[in-house]
Structure 1
Amino acid sequence: MQNIKDWPLFIKICFGLIFLALVVAGLIEIPKLSEQQTSEQSNPKQAATELVNVDIIVVSDTAKPLENVEVRLVSKGAPEVRKTNTDGFVQIDIPARRDIEITLIKEGFKTARYTINLNNDPNRTRTYYLKPQKPK
């Protein structure tokens, strides 16, 4: 590699401008990043406990709404249990930034397990299907 002193003036100016732009960008962005980290560290429980209302509809494989389906959601601690109404509808509150496992149970139907992640799929009503158990 050549000695930098031997480079043409135009090349030296280009490298100088690129270096200056990187320094300015770093001086602008680094305080923003450290400020963001500080705010996340000061409120970790608030972010974890923020609840979002989720609508669930449970239907049979023939698309008929299923009443009294037990909807169990597991996040931390004991499972929370809800039951669907006559329209197969139930509302649950789940933490905004976590995967939540739900289990759907109804006599005469196969138990079904699903995972809800609001980061991937935020604002919509979820419809889940239960398949009837085959007679023995």
Structure 2
Amino acid sequence: MRKIILASHHNLAIGMKDTLEYIIPTVGDITAIAAYTTNMPVNEEIEAALADITEKDEAIIFTDLLGGSVNQNFTKYLTYPNVHLIAGMNLPVIMSCLLPLGDAAIEPEQLRLAIQEGQQQIVYVNDYLTQQTLDEEDE
């Protein structure tokens, strides 16, 4: 079994899940944790989301902030062999990680490459367009 979890402070994870399901309707079952929006402590929300995970299962978890309380509460699950925790979620990174998923368990190197691809989508567009204009003038 594979679990995909998006977790954030407040409602970012819910919006991200909604957007992913719109763009990639076949992405699979995604759990969103919007921490601190209910009276339930974040560690209890995480425990509930991972309650049925075993050492044979796989979990790919995306959180909003490295070092944030949401991310920190997931780190105790890294003792499981197939739990992958990625901090700094954004749509390009998540899509790069999830699109190539097949039935086999994902390898850490696949995630590393997908994260690099997603990071390349983070661009200061002012500079990007200026460079495109300069390149066109050179031709």
What TM-score, normalized to structure 2? 0.25
Larger Rg: 1
What TM-score, normalized to structure 1? 0.25
The structure whose residues are more often strand, as a share, is 1
